[in-house]
Amino acid sequence: MQKYTARISTLVSTLFTAAALLLSACGKLNIGEFASYVSTFEAEAAARGQELHVDNLVIKLDSSLPNTIRAQCQERPFATPTIAVNQTIWDKSSDEDKEALLMHELGHCVLHRDHKKGDFPDGTAISLMRAVSPYGKSYEAHRQYYLDELFDNND
Ligand SMILES: [Zn+2]
């Protein structure tokens, strides 16, 4: 009986592995109006010597997110990583806010970075990956630094 159980679980794990390989082999890219941000992300990575090609990602506007959440990277087993963007906030955001927000979420969904705590003494966030990520003005003032830090993940 024990032997039978073991064989079943081996079969199940083999099936899961096969499914995972199959899914990762055929990535899905559905980024619509956000394509320019993904291009910027790839270009900034390349400028820092990182060959990054985003080919498995969904980015979509979502009007059901609460107004405390600007965007969210959603990762589930066997599903394409998805960035849901709060439509209400997005529509009111400046270009710099939009780029800062997308770079943060791409940090989660593509670079698989977690949040990073901390501020400089003047209150500036030490990372775009801070839970409350820098808004446009701060991002614009320190863009090179934030992008260097984003792609130089040593936390
Ligand atoms: Zn985040």
Tens of pLDDT, residues 121-152 = 998 999 999 998 888 899 999 999 999 999 99
How much distance in Å is there from the Cα of 17 to the middle of ligand 1? 29
How much distance in Å is there from the Cα of 105 to the middle of ligand 1? 6
How much distance in Å is there from the Cα of 146 to the middle of ligand 1? 14
**What pLDDT does 136 receive?**
87
Residue 117 DSSP SS3: coil
pLDDT of 36 higher than 70: yes
CA angle 111, 112, 115 (to 5 degrees): 110
* Whole-number Å distance between alpha carbons of 36 and 99: 10
| pLDDT tens track for 63-78 | 999 999 999 999 999 9
How much distance in Å is there from the Cα of 153 to the middle of ligand 1? 15
Residue 125 DSSP SS3: strand
**What pLDDT does 8 receive?**
59
How much distance in Å is there from the Cα of 28 to the middle of ligand 1? 22
